[in-house]
Amino acid sequence: MYRNLSPEEFLKNPARFHVIDVRSQEEWDSFHEAGAIHVPLIGLEERAGELPKDRPLVLVCRTGGRSARAAQMLGRLGFDARNLMGGLRMLAAARAQNGQIGREEALEIMRRLG
Protein backbone atom coordinates (compact mmCIF):
# COMPACT_ATOMS: atom_id res chain seq x y z
CA MET A 1 0.00 0.00 0.00
CA TYR A 2 1.21 3.51 -0.85
CA ARG A 3 -0.28 6.89 -0.07
CA ASN A 4 0.72 10.47 0.61
CA LEU A 5 1.08 11.79 4.13
CA SER A 6 1.01 15.48 5.00
CA PRO A 7 3.68 16.87 7.33
CA GLU A 8 0.92 17.90 9.74
CA GLU A 9 -0.48 14.36 9.83
CA PHE A 10 3.03 12.95 10.36
CA LEU A 11 3.69 15.35 13.25
CA LYS A 12 0.58 14.19 15.13
CA ASN A 13 2.39 10.93 15.98
CA PRO A 14 5.83 10.56 14.37
CA ALA A 15 6.70 7.56 16.57
CA ARG A 16 4.05 5.60 14.68
CA PHE A 17 6.36 5.46 11.63
CA HIS A 18 9.83 4.44 10.51
CA VAL A 19 11.34 7.33 8.54
CA ILE A 20 13.31 6.23 5.48
CA ASP A 21 15.44 8.95 3.86
CA VAL A 22 16.08 8.20 0.18
CA ARG A 23 18.40 11.13 -0.59
CA SER A 24 22.07 10.86 -1.56
CA GLN A 25 24.85 10.40 0.98
CA GLU A 26 25.91 14.04 0.55
CA GLU A 27 22.36 15.27 1.22
CA TRP A 28 22.06 12.96 4.24
CA ASP A 29 25.35 14.24 5.64
CA SER A 30 24.15 17.84 5.32
CA PHE A 31 20.92 17.24 7.30
CA HIS A 32 18.68 14.35 8.27
CA GLU A 33 15.92 13.56 10.71
CA ALA A 34 16.99 12.06 14.01
CA GLY A 35 16.20 8.35 14.01
CA ALA A 36 15.78 8.14 10.23
CA ILE A 37 17.13 5.20 8.25
CA HIS A 38 19.23 6.15 5.23
CA VAL A 39 18.64 4.06 2.11
CA PRO A 40 19.31 6.05 -1.08
CA LEU A 41 16.74 5.70 -3.84
CA ILE A 42 19.42 4.14 -6.03
CA GLY A 43 19.65 0.67 -4.52
CA LEU A 44 16.42 0.87 -2.53
CA GLU A 45 14.76 -2.06 -4.26
CA GLU A 46 17.82 -4.27 -3.68
CA ARG A 47 17.90 -3.28 0.00
CA ALA A 48 14.14 -3.52 0.63
CA GLY A 49 14.62 -6.73 2.62
CA GLU A 50 16.58 -4.71 5.22
CA LEU A 51 13.62 -2.41 5.94
CA PRO A 52 11.45 -2.90 9.04
CA LYS A 53 7.85 -3.99 8.61
CA ASP A 54 6.53 -3.53 12.15
CA ARG A 55 5.28 0.04 11.48
CA PRO A 56 4.36 2.02 8.38
CA LEU A 57 7.28 3.55 6.49
CA VAL A 58 7.43 7.26 5.73
CA LEU A 59 9.69 7.95 2.77
CA VAL A 60 11.36 11.35 2.75
CA CYS A 61 13.55 13.42 0.46
CA ARG A 62 14.08 17.13 -0.02
CA THR A 63 10.75 18.01 -1.69
CA GLY A 64 8.79 14.76 -2.07
CA GLY A 65 9.55 13.66 -5.64
CA ARG A 66 12.07 10.89 -5.03
CA SER A 67 10.23 9.75 -1.92
CA ALA A 68 6.99 9.42 -3.92
CA ARG A 69 8.75 7.07 -6.35
CA ALA A 70 10.25 5.16 -3.42
CA ALA A 71 6.91 4.82 -1.63
CA GLN A 72 5.25 3.61 -4.82
CA MET A 73 8.01 1.03 -5.35
CA LEU A 74 7.86 -0.23 -1.78
CA GLY A 75 4.06 -0.31 -1.89
CA ARG A 76 4.28 -2.66 -4.87
CA LEU A 77 6.64 -4.83 -2.80
CA GLY A 78 4.06 -5.15 -0.03
CA PHE A 79 5.20 -2.46 2.40
CA ASP A 80 2.84 -0.03 4.11
CA ALA A 81 4.66 2.98 2.59
CA ARG A 82 3.79 6.67 2.82
CA ASN A 83 5.29 9.58 0.92
CA LEU A 84 5.88 12.70 3.02
CA MET A 85 4.30 15.39 0.85
CA GLY A 86 6.60 18.35 0.29
CA GLY A 87 9.53 16.47 1.79
CA LEU A 88 11.84 17.66 4.53
CA ARG A 89 11.42 21.29 3.47
CA MET A 90 7.67 21.22 4.20
CA LEU A 91 8.25 19.24 7.38
CA ALA A 92 10.57 21.99 8.68
CA ALA A 93 7.96 24.61 7.77
CA ALA A 94 5.21 22.63 9.53
CA ARG A 95 7.34 22.26 12.65
CA ALA A 96 7.96 26.01 12.72
CA GLN A 97 4.29 26.75 12.12
CA ASN A 98 3.15 24.61 15.06
CA GLY A 99 5.89 25.89 17.38
CA GLN A 100 8.05 22.76 17.57
CA ILE A 101 11.05 24.69 16.25
CA GLY A 102 11.79 28.37 15.88
CA ARG A 103 11.74 30.29 12.63
CA GLU A 104 15.53 30.62 12.60
CA GLU A 105 16.00 26.87 13.08
CA ALA A 106 13.56 26.18 10.23
CA LEU A 107 15.46 28.58 7.98
CA GLU A 108 18.76 26.89 8.87
CA ILE A 109 17.29 23.46 8.05
CA MET A 110 16.04 24.76 4.71
CA ARG A 111 19.44 26.30 3.97
CA ARG A 112 21.13 22.97 4.68
CA LEU A 113 18.61 21.12 2.54
CA GLY A 114 19.32 23.44 -0.38
CA 95, CA 37: separation in Å to the nearest integer?
20
Residues in the chain: 114
> With contact defined as beta carbons under 8 Å apart, do 4 and 82 qualify?
yes
Residues 6+ apart with CB under 8 A from 55: 16, 17, 18, 80
User: Is 27 part of the annotated catalytic residue set?
Assistant: no
Choice among 58, 61, 84, 94 that is catalytic: 61
- Residues labelled as active-site residues: 61
